[in-house]
Chain A
Amino acid sequence: KNEVEQSPQNLTAQEGEFITINCSYSVGISALHWLQQHPGGGIVSLFMLSSGKKKHGRLIATINIQEKHSSLHITASHPRDSAVYICAGWTNTGNQFYFGTGTSLTVIP
């Protein structure tokens, strides 16, 4: 059973395309985090949000608490955006994350 689901699993885009990665969750969470995992394995935190929308550079993250859904958008995608993007829900009751399976993004020049 996956408490956090992501789609698509794999995504290939041409440089410059607008990209959307979706995340839905079934557990009660107090915040949703988006993480980026580089090909070498390192993990970097991109966003944490509990409501609304956040923007950082070309990245935009939104969350709809009622629908238990979040999206990560990348505008004007670039090959250096190629990575695995992971959403993780921080549970209401407990100091831990539930992780999605990740979306592997490849941006082709």
Chain B
Amino acid sequence: EPEVTQTPSHQVTQMGQEVILRCVPISNHLYFYWYRQILGQKVEFLVSFYNNEISEKSEIFDDQFSVERPDGSNFTLKIRSTKLEDSAMYFCASSVNRGSQETQYFGPGTRLLVL
């Protein structure tokens, strides 16, 4: 069964460094999402992406974040200058179409630790 993959599974970085989290969505999916979950807290929506542009973004998704689909398969989340509070699990998800009735398929997550 097709699945969403994410790399790396774990990343440790120094505060102020840039990190890029990578996701490979399911191949026929058109909508892509990033979520984060700070340890012990709820999952939070960051951004949705369609047709090479951001569709929606939350208040969390400020100027230090950016997303890109650099080629036909990868979907990346870049954090430009990491802060301690960026430490979290980051989940990528994809769906065939947009909308409330669509199942989103989640990747296994990347655990980011900022020191």
Contact = CB atoms under 8 A, between A and B. Distances in A.
Q: Does B associate with A?
A: yes
Contact of B56 (A33, A41, A42, A96): A96
B66 interface: no
Interface string B71-115: 000000000000000000101010000111111111011010000
A45 B101 CA distance: 12
**Dominant SS at the B interface?**
strand
Interface stretch (A17-25, A57-65, A74-82, A86-94): A86-94
Given A31-B100, A45-B103, A48-B103, A97 B45 contact: yes
Interface string A96-109: 11111110000000
B100 A90 contact: yes
Given A42-B108, A43-B106, A96-B58, A50 B100 contact: yes
B106 A42 contact: yes
Interface in A13-36: 29-31, 33, 35
A35 B37 CA distance: 14
**Dominant SS at the A interface?**
strand
Contacts of B93: 43
A86 B103 contact: no
Given A43-B109, A98-B45, A99-B42, 13 more contacts: A41-B37, A41-B111, A42-B109, A48-B102, A88-B43, A90-B99, A95-B55, A95-B56, A95-B99, A96-B58, A97-B35, A97-B45, A99-B45
A45 B26 CA distance: 15
Nearest to A30: B100
B101 A50 contact: yes
30 contacts: A29-B100, A30-B100, A41-B109, A42-B109, A43-B43, A43-B93, A43-B106, A43-B109, A44-B106, A45-B106, A48-B100, A48-B101, A48-B102, A50-B100, A50-B101, A86-B43, A88-B43, A90-B99, A90-B100, A95-B31, A95-B48, A95-B56, A95-B98, A96-B56, A97-B45, A99-B44, A99-B45, A100-B42, A101-B42, A102-B42
